[in-house]
Amino acid sequence: MTRSFFVGGNWKLNPTSLSAAKALVEALNKADLDPSTEVVVAPPALYLLPIQEIAGKAVKVAAQNAYFKESGAFTGEISPKQISDAGIPYVILGHSERRTLFHETSEVVALKTRAALDNGLKVILCIGETLKEREEGRTAAVCEEQLSAVVKQLKEEDWSNIVIAYEPVWAIGTGKVATTSQAQETHVDVRKYLATAVSPKVASETRVIYGGSVNAANSKDLASQQDIDGFLVGGASLKPEFVDIINARKA
C-alpha cells in the first residue's frame, strides 16, 4: 500500500488577526498544490470555524489541541466532540510544547487520542526526544515510551486515523534540523516498534511525518526518504515557502 504524502501547517499562536489568517488560506487556495498531497492547516482555536468556511477543497483544517472529556467544568479546554461537531476533521495531540509548557504526560496524550478517535476525529500524534535524550542515545526509547501509552488505548483499526509526527524537540523553531539520515533512521525505528507492538500492517500503512525546522530548502531531500511520509511545519507554514514544502514530492 502506498502511503499518501501529508503536509500539515501548525500555526501555533499565529497570526494575531483573522484577516491575516484568512490571507494565509486564500493564498493556499490560489496556489498550484500537488493534488496527491494531503494538506492540513491548524490555526488558533478562535479561527477554526472562519478558516474552515473559506478553505478550498485541497485544504483541510485541524485543531491544535483537545481535551479527553467531551463536556464539563474544564475552563479553557476544547472538547473533541465540539471540534467534530464543527466539522473539523483533524486534531494535533502531544506536541512537545504541550508536553513541556503544559506538562502533558504521555498518558494524558493517550487519553486525548482515545477521546478524539471516539468522536470521529483524525489525530496528528506528535512524538520526539530532547537534545539531552538524543545525546544519551535514547531517541528510539523515548519515542517508543511516548507511543506505548497510546498503543495501550487503541485498537488495531484505530491506526488508520492516526498520522505520527516525529518532531525532535531540539529542532523545533531552532533552525536546527535532523539530518536526512537521522530522520529516516528514527522513522524506521518507529515502524519497527509499531510492527512489534501493534502489527506489521499498521507499521507499513501508518504515515510517519517529520517536523522540526522544515523549510523549502531541506524539504525535497527529506521527502525523498522511503519512510518519511510528509511534514508537520511550524514557522514556515506562515510563509509563501509553505507551498514549496507541500510540493516537495512534485516532479
The model's pTM:
0.97
Distances, alpha carbon 234 to alpha carbons 46, 53, 73, 95, 193, in Å: 18, 22, 31, 11, 27
Closest to 171 in 3D by CA, of 214, 231, 229, 209: 214
Q: By the 8 A CB rule, do 142 and 126 touch?
A: no
Rg of the Cα trace of the chain? 17
Q: Where are the domains of the chain?
A: 5-246
Cβ count within 10 A of residue 230: 30
Q: Which amino acid is at 147?
A: L
pLDDT tens-digit readout, 153-194: 999 999 999 999 999 998 887 887 789 999 999 999 999 999
Determine the Cα–Cα distance for residues 187 and 197; give it in Å rounded to an integer: 15
Q: By the 8 A CB rule, do 101 and 80 touch?
A: no
Query: In the chain, which stretches have pLDDT less than 70?
Result: 1, 251
Q: By the 8 A CB rule, do 184 and 224 touch?
A: no
For residue 178, the model assigns a pLDDT of: 84
Catalytic residue among 97, 129, 144, 167: 167
Catalytic residue among 95, 129, 144, 187: 95
To the question of whether residue 12 is assigned a binding role by annotation, the answer is yes
Q: By the 8 A CB rule, do 73 and 44 touch?
A: no
Cβ count within 10 A of residue 228: 23
Rounded to 5 degrees, φ, ψ at 211 are -140, 150
For residue 129, the model assigns a pLDDT of: 96
> Is residue 77 flagged as an active site residue?
no
> Is residue 133 flagged as an active site residue?
no
Answer CATH for 5-246 from 3.40.50.300, 3.20.20.70, 3.40.50.970, 3.30.710.10? 3.20.20.70
For residue 251, the model assigns a pLDDT of: 67
